[in-house]
Structure 1
Amino acid sequence: MYSNGSVHETDSTEDFETKLMLANFEGKNVPELLVTNASNGEIIQTGSSHAFKVSLATSSNKWAGLELKPSQPLDLSKMGPISLVFDAASLGEHTTQLFINITDKNGASHSRSAVIRSGKMNTYYAVLSSSDLKSDAEDETVELNLASGMRSNPPPFNTDAIQTAWLWGTKNLDLSGISLIKLSSMNSSHNKELLIDNIRIAGNPPYHEDYLTGILDEFGQAAKKDFEGKVNSVEELRAARDTELASFKEKPFTNRSKYGGWKDGPKLEATGYFRAAKHNGKWSLVDPDGYLYLATGVAVIRLGDTSTMTGLDRKVYPSDEDHSKTETHVTVSPVRRNLFQWLPDSSDPLSKHYHYARGVHSGAMDKGISYNFYEANLERKYGDNYHERWREVTIDRMLNWGFTSLGNWTEPGLYNNDRIPYFANAWITGEHKTVSSGNDFWHALPDVFDPAWEKVADKAVRKVAKETQGNSWCVGVFIDNEISFGRPNSQQTRYGIPIHTLQRDGNEVPTKAAFTRAMQEKYSSIEALNTVWETNISSWDAFNRGFDSTINNQAQVADYALLLELYASKYYETIAASMDTHLPNHLYLGSRMPDWGMPMEAVRGAAKHVDVLSFNLYKESLFHETWAFLEEMDMPSIIGEYSIGSTNDGHYHFGIIDAEDQEDRATKFVDYLDSLIANPYFIGAHWFQYIDSNMTGRVYDGENYNNGFIRVSDIPYQPMVDASQEFHKDLYEKRFRESNKL
């Protein structure tokens, strides 16, 4: 395995000064420190040198790539500001998303990603440590720890090398012991080949002098980059408006029913509302008039979540004249304030688009003043009645682009528009008891056996029933989102709800009491349970009061699986009962389980009570093997979120799935939908989201993704529009033709 004697010291003249060469493939054999995983790898000659070629097979849910696993952890702690640097290129016509995972000797790791471009080799880097450029907080250094309020910051260095975008994990690894470096891909929509060379640890080049300064112009766009579709004046904005509005006169989709179903296809029973049915072995929705219907669309069609934090907050102080309170703005985060070339003063008519955030999930500020560039651009574009005009144009766009529905988190003002079907949503909020999975990603989990939770759940359903008013254009309702039922990393994370709940007192926690009853019904005596679980619990009363729930054996795991399914089933059963009462004619669509939090026990619990299973899936494609469980359940399913992004138009983060540019993004968008309609259980998918995240991050958590169909200027991405129109032209024929096989 790896030894210090095999290290190649080089004096590089590149931007990044090589300090430790890990693998340059100039020997006859693959270095022993290199391990391929679920892929084929070989050294090939590239001109006068050599590189490592990795084959990445499609239709696989397995990681494929290479790993550097030194026999002893690498000590990089004395090298100063450094980055992991490598050269790479995709072979063939398709780009490749590469994930970079780095782990230290303590097991902490962090993940980054970049799209590897086709053609020539490019240099990519992932910062491991940085210094010298301080923020307003003394202990924060650039890129890794800077509280900028953005998920990924602009490239910090003067270099043509490509920055890998931060995804998740521990930013500050223990550099005294790096135990694993993994470069890999997953869920590729095509067979791909990747060329990698010169994997190295290198010193960082100088920072940009104006790093994090003036990166946003008056329209909320990338100030320092030109790109197709960029707006330079209000006149250009209005000219783009007029051109787009004129395009709506064309009606490209004439084979659609009133509700967007397949007018030229078979007609099934009409019930006056949407329902799910199986036709020729494939699940479909059926529109109120009886036509087969697939739900393609866009989620988050609303003006909420379109503001960004300014670095300003309110300062309230007494006036000397009358002792009343007056207010002014003060800078509380210079880093945030310096991002903007322009913010309106109080006399500017566009100052009405300032808002106030009283609390955020994460970011540079706990609270403060935000600004909505998107709203300001709408006012510049449409005038004082911009909100109503925005609603009209949005529906025109969806129909013109071929979409058949408005997705989750659509503004209720767009409900009941009688032009395009929509999906409603509700959040269950209010006072009730909670339990925990040990990793409650968005919020604490409800104690679903608490009568108070049943009441607030019913209140949420009644609220959405009032909003939808029994309208036939409402397809159905999503309730809650991405609940942390359990993560697949380990048995402890998968069965976190039973593990943590069993430790609690059933006299105070209704879900724990329900778990106690379930085990009593199965085992009758505590002795029988102790024998199977290899525990020593003194009585059922002691069981109910709480005990050490550490997993001892697989029989105990099987019972934890039963308890997890019991919890999930109760969650969905309670909501389904309220749906039957208040929205009996509309589909209950579940809670949009994320692929990182959908243990099969929770899916089975949902399948007992929902009309359509729902999942959020950020991958290049849907692979049949991943979703084979739907054959057993025979349940219609829908994707509530997916997207692909790029950084070529000035954004600093692509989101989850990366593309080289807008054309590549559009290609991957169609690849995803092609894989969806080839699966007989999926009846639709909603793109996340309508409007790009702010380049400087949304208020709630700093997401600054290129995930929209339209820019902050309200100008659509034309490659995405063209791809959508082309895909939707024969949507139903592609889905239901007999030759369409998995």
Structure 2
Amino acid sequence: MRRRIVIAAIGALLVLCGRATAGQFRFWIAAQRDWAKNTGFCLAFEDASAEGPCRLDDGMRFVLAVADGGRWNYAFYDGRLEADHTYQVKATIGPKSFGFWIDSQCAKEIEAGFAPTNDSLLINHRPQGYTDEADYIFVPIAMTVTHNETVFRDIEFPSAERTVPEFLVADYLPSESLSLPLELAADDTLVIESRIKIIRRPSLADHAPYVDAYGQWRHDDWPGKVRSDEDLRNRIAEEEKVLADWPAPSGYDKYGGCVEAGWKQEATGFFRVVRRDGFYWLISPEGHPCFYVGLCGVGLDADTRWPPTSVTGRESFFEWLPPREGPFAEAWMPNAWGHEGVDFFLPITANLIRKYGEPWRTRKNEITFRRMKAWGFSGGGKWARQNPDPIAFSWMVVLNRAGIPVLVRHPDVFDPNVCEVFEKHLAQQCEQYRENPWIIGLSLGNEDEELIHKGDVEKILAMAADVPAKRALVDHALTTLYGSDMSKLAEAWKVQNAASIETLYAAEPSVSPGDAETLRQFYADRYYAFVYQTIKKHDPNHLYCGFWIPGWRAIWGYSADWKIISRHCDLIGYDHYAHDFAHETLVKMMAETDKPVLCGEFGYAPSYDARRGFAVRTNWGEVRTDEQAGREYQRWMALAAENPHCVGAFLFCHHDQSCLGRSHGKELALQYGEAYAWGLVDVTDTPKWDYVRRVREANLTATAQRLAATKAAAGNK
């Protein structure tokens, strides 16, 4: 018996901690292990199939692995597993033996020692490198962890309450994956009791429609869910009561400048930036200091024409779709995102039409303006549209370069003909904004679309000899990197028979990563310089804020671009979706460049445990509720207000995206593109009060926090 266990242990060790294959599925119910040191334990559910997708009736099993310091010992449950069954899994690990039970039946008990490790206890963990493709879903219901007869954790998981269709939205919730500190000694006893349900992966066709007549997820319920047109209209009076108790804050000019700061600058009629006692400040057109808190996606048609969700091919997903003509025509948008022949629908617009009646657009603009003021926002942010007086507000312009020819992803700013066309296009846009005092500043494009990627240079160098950008890159490399020595460049780039500069222009070189990065930065510098100089030439009145460099890109892989763009803007506009206002690397770059910065987008999209149909963000942790989103906002905004370089930030955004997504795809899918609950307002135009209250509190104290930080800095000099 002992020998068979050892043999099984060797095989299982290769499976559990070896290299994953395409078909392997792993789910660690509970684990605290160091494979290399032969310490710890792992209670897991595994499918060791060689090919995917994994199937419930093919090789699925529970396994308990316990290490004694010299090797791993394994116990398996190889009984047939069934769908739609909740399994009671119990594991007991002691100093001299271990075992586990399935539905109160002993699967295996083994006499063996236990050598603990004090790494974190992982619960409901999916190790990296394994497939998610399976015809089943593993649903954690509850778990109790007992350490030496004392309950260490007693947990009920949100997935226990989810309906089957909601596992199409997310088969795994990050909030259910826990990492807990737990110190174990060699003579301790640990008991893990877990309830786990296995369900068949639901079919997309079996649960349509997915959204109701108001664009809400059909397969669950929650407080405040709209069920009728009357519910929609009743929300108007409910909101009026709240707004009556939340008047627009006093002490600010119409642009968001603080008139009670105790100091003022010259009124120039436009936003600008000054530095006072080491802190940068926006100065309003009337001369008052402003820590600007903005809201993206507001004004005119900004929140009624974007972003739509695709209907074509997914008609069955909608419980109701309005007529394409008549009052609801504006809720339809054909060919959005460049998808010819695809109809798109805007649930928010259909709801606004039913909620406010005619003139619904005017009433919508009025209530949005009142919301912004009552909620403590200075004005709009990106993706906004200016309302007419008397409900005008300040906002940020994002220019475009639509129709301008590109080489790889950007125009060739070394080509005079391209530059002429590009300048004319920018000048036409600047002309309509040049004298507008409501505009905070100008920017061009957004995030990744303006970033020069690392592979762009290699593609340009593979082009024909007459491409101006290629010639400029070769010239720069020759003079800067190789001291004008053509033979050295030719050798480094593996160019044969380089008798002249024309030979180098015509070649398709093999460029080292270091050379490519140097040339990428050179190209970026020239591109950003052209854009900045051109925009300032045609609009000297407004701040230029760059292209909203993604903070996550600046941290990982493109830190040089933060420095490059700092030379070609009045303030650095960046976007940063994260729990913290600024990663330590970003804070360091802010200090090194010593420029004012403005965050153009940040935000928190509650997952609601996937029970409202929205996608679940997994890249930096899950925000589960509106209340949690509000707390995150408060912390983020307080840190921003106290940072000497930050002059403001824009929350993304006014209303939620559709839970069915905002794009279109070639294959049928429940969600296309982003499908997040970013908004302060949901798809029925109902404010999320648990979120809004906390946002308002943060907004109303942000300027005072910055003034206090400035005063403290001045006092410490």
TM-score (normalizing by structure 2): 0.71
What do residues 632-662 of structure 1 show as CA deviations (whole Å, max 9, x unaligned)? Answer: 1101112212221123261331456521111
Q: Give the Cα separation in 2 of the matches to 1:496 and 1:568.
A: 13
* 1:307 alignment partner AA: P
Q: Give the Cα separation in 2 of the matches to 1:713 and 1:194.
A: 45
Q: Give the Cα separation in 2 of the matches to 1:262 and 1:569.
A: 36
Moved more, 568-577 or 350-359: 350-359
Partner of 1:562: 518
How far did 1:630 drift?
A: 1.6
Partner of 1:543: 504
Q: Give the Cα separation in 1 of the matches to 2:411 and 2:193.
A: 50
- SS of 1:548's partner is coil
Partner of 2:594: 634
How far did 1:613 drift?
A: 1.0
Question: Paired residues, what number?
Answer: 591
How far did 1:722 drift?
A: 0.1
Q: Give the Cα separation in 1 of the matches to 2:325 and 2:271.
A: 50
Partner of 1:98: none
The answer on whether the counterparts of 1:449 and 1:514 sit within 8 Å (CA) in structure 2 is yes
Moved more, 351-360 or 609-618: 351-360
* 2:255 alignment partner AA: Y
* 2:656 alignment partner AA: D
What do residues 519-567 of structure 1 show as CA deviations (whole Å, max 9, x unaligned)? Answer: 233221212435666876724322212323342xxxx61x433322221
Partner of 1:481: 446
The answer on whether the counterparts of 1:485 and 1:497 sit within 8 Å (CA) in structure 2 is no
Partner of 2:287: 290
Ranked by relative contact order (alpha carbons within 8 Å, sequence separation 6 or more), the top structure is 1
How far did 1:198 drift?
A: 10
How far did 1:376 drift?
A: 1.4
Q: Do residues 496 (structure 1) and 491 (structure 2) align?
A: no
The answer on whether the counterparts of 1:17 and 1:202 sit within 8 Å (CA) in structure 2 is no
Q: Give the Cα separation in 1 of the matches to 2:503 and 2:142.
A: 59
- SS of 1:729's partner is helix
Partner of 1:81: 135
Partner of 1:729: 700
How far did 1:283 drift?
A: 1.9
Partner of 1:614: 573
Q: Give the Cα separation in 1 of the matches to 2:399 and 2:474.
A: 31
Q: Give the Cα separation in 1 of the matches to 2:236 and 2:11.
A: 62
Q: Give the Cα separation in 2 of the matches to 1:296 and 1:88.
A: 42
How far did 1:607 drift?
A: 1.2
- SS of 1:445's partner is coil
How far did 1:727 drift?
A: 0.7
Partner of 1:180: none
Partner of 1:449: 414
- SS of 2:383's partner is coil
What do residues 295-316 of structure 1 show as CA deviations (whole Å, max 9, x unaligned)? Answer: 21121221222422223xxxxx
Partner of 1:587: 543
What do residues 163-219 of structure 1 show as CA deviations (whole Å, max 9, x unaligned)? Answer: 348xxxxxxxxxxxxxxxxx899xxxxxx8699989999975263797441221111
The answer on whether the counterparts of 1:22 and 1:198 sit within 8 Å (CA) in structure 2 is no
* 1:422 alignment partner AA: W
Q: Give the Cα separation in 1 of the matches to 2:532 and 2:562.
A: 15
- SS of 2:319's partner is coil
Q: Give the Cα separation in 2 of the matches to 1:416 and 1:288.
A: 16
- SS of 1:730's partner is helix
How far did 1:156 drift?
A: 3.7
Residue 678 and residue 200 in structure 1: after superposition, are their counterparts in 2 closer, same or farther (change >3 A)?
A: farther
How far did 1:279 drift?
A: 1.9
Partner of 1:263: 259
Q: Give the Cα separation in 1 of the matches to 2:416 and 2:195.
A: 58
Matches within 5 A, 1:190-339: 204-205=199-200, 207=202, 211-249=206-244, 250-265=246-261, 266-301=263-298, 302=302, 303-311=304-312, 333=313, 336-339=314-317
Residue 484 and residue 560 in structure 1: after superposition, are their counterparts in 2 closer, same or farther (change >3 A)?
A: farther
Q: Give the Cα separation in 1 of the matches to 2:351 and 2:407.
A: 44
Residue 368 and residue 264 in structure 1: after superposition, are their counterparts in 2 closer, same or farther (change >3 A)?
A: same
Q: In structure 1, which of residues 700, 709, 721 is the aligned counterpart of residue 680 of structure 2?
A: 709
The answer on whether the counterparts of 2:247 and 2:374 sit within 8 Å (CA) in structure 1 is yes
Residue 632 and residue 531 in structure 1: after superposition, are their counterparts in 2 closer, same or farther (change >3 A)?
A: farther
- SS of 1:585's partner is coil
- SS of 1:388's partner is helix
Q: Give the Cα separation in 2 of the matches to 1:416 and 1:544.
A: 57
Q: Give the Cα separation in 1 of the matches to 2:461 and 2:182.
A: 48
* 1:633 alignment partner AA: T
Cα RMSD (Å) = 4.5
How far did 1:624 drift?
A: 2.8
Structure 1: stretches of 5+ with no match in the other structure: 34-42, 57-64, 92-117, 126-142, 144-152, 166-182, 186-191, 312-332, 437-443, 488-493
Q: Do residues 517 (structure 1) and 471 (structure 2) align?
A: no
Partner of 2:368: 394
Partner of 1:37: none
- SS of 2:448's partner is coil
The answer on whether the counterparts of 1:11 and 1:18 sit within 8 Å (CA) in structure 2 is no
Q: Give the Cα separation in 2 of the matches to 1:194 and 1:678.
A: 36
How far did 1:474 drift?
A: 0.9
How far did 1:30 drift?
A: 12
Q: Do residues 120 (structure 1) and 155 (structure 2) align?
A: yes
Residue 242 and residue 84 in structure 1: after superposition, are their counterparts in 2 closer, same or farther (change >3 A)?
A: closer
How far did 1:5 drift?
A: 3.1
The answer on whether the counterparts of 1:498 and 1:564 sit within 8 Å (CA) in structure 2 is yes
Partner of 1:672: 636
Q: Give the Cα separation in 1 of the matches to 2:242 and 2:310.
A: 35
How far did 1:292 drift?
A: 1.7
Residue 87 and residue 601 in structure 1: after superposition, are their counterparts in 2 closer, same or farther (change >3 A)?
A: farther
Q: Give the Cα separation in 1 of the matches to 2:456 and 2:594.
A: 27
Q: Give the Cα separation in 1 of the matches to 2:286 and 2:496.
A: 62
The answer on whether the counterparts of 1:305 and 1:699 sit within 8 Å (CA) in structure 2 is no
* More helix as a share of residues: 2
Q: Do residues 163 (structure 1) and 149 (structure 2) align?
A: no
Q: In structure 1, which of residues 333, 342, 363 is the aligned counterpart of residue 320 of structure 2?
A: 342
Paired-residue identity, %: 22
How far did 1:500 drift?
A: 2.2
The answer on whether the counterparts of 2:638 and 2:702 sit within 8 Å (CA) in structure 1 is no
Q: Do residues 650 (structure 1) and 612 (structure 2) align?
A: yes
Residue 506 and residue 400 in structure 1: after superposition, are their counterparts in 2 closer, same or farther (change >3 A)?
A: farther
Matches within 5 A, 1:19-168: 27=67, 68=127, 81-82=135-136, 120-122=155-157, 154-156=166-168, 163-164=172-173
Q: Give the Cα separation in 1 of the matches to 2:635 and 2:250.
A: 24
